[in-house]
Structure 1
Amino acid sequence: MFGRIGAPEIILILVVIILLFGAKKLPDMARSLGKSARILKSEAKAMKSDGQQTAPAAPPQPGAPEDNAPAPRTIKAAPGDVSSSRPVAEPTDSTQR
């Protein structure tokens, strides 16, 4: 009785959603939901790649130039979206001198 959702029920649900939110706001809501999903996906991917790079690096040699200093990372909200990109400050290890 309640386990089957057919086409009439789905159409009724969609009509109620359109009446509640209005047809004008629905594309904006879908766009913001998609953008949030892309941000969440990119952050999860960044955290996963940071977790794999936990192996300690070799200490720098005294007197050697620090040309191999890592460049700051930039996390983008969406592919090609440069307006919401922000540089990420990497934590520094203040115990080494």
Structure 2
Amino acid sequence: METNSLDSVDIAILMPLQRNGELTNKEIAVKIYKSVATIHERVRRLKEQGYIVKTVTILDLRKINKSSIAYSHVLLNDHAADTLDTFEQEVVKFHKSWNVTK
């Protein structure tokens, strides 16, 4: 197989992995009717070639009593009071817990 090209088996491996990164090689092998050794080798190669960048775990922040924090940088055309008031009124529509500072 040519380096850095995906065939149908690679795609068949990536599809379930994208939905659930915790799948074992055995579980993938059963799903796509290939041997565990084949899956192992292909997953290793897909990682080496950068198709699989990393595996992450998504936490339920409510259960661990954490909230998400996002920072953003906004440039306004001017800093007149009415411009700032309009901006603040629009930003708070995105999420009820925004904290907007001037």
- TM-score, with structure 1 as normaliser: 0.31
- TM-score, with structure 2 as normaliser: 0.30
Whichever structure has more strand as a proportion of its residues is 1
User: Which one scores higher on RCO, CA 8 angstroms, separation ≥ 6?
Assistant: 1
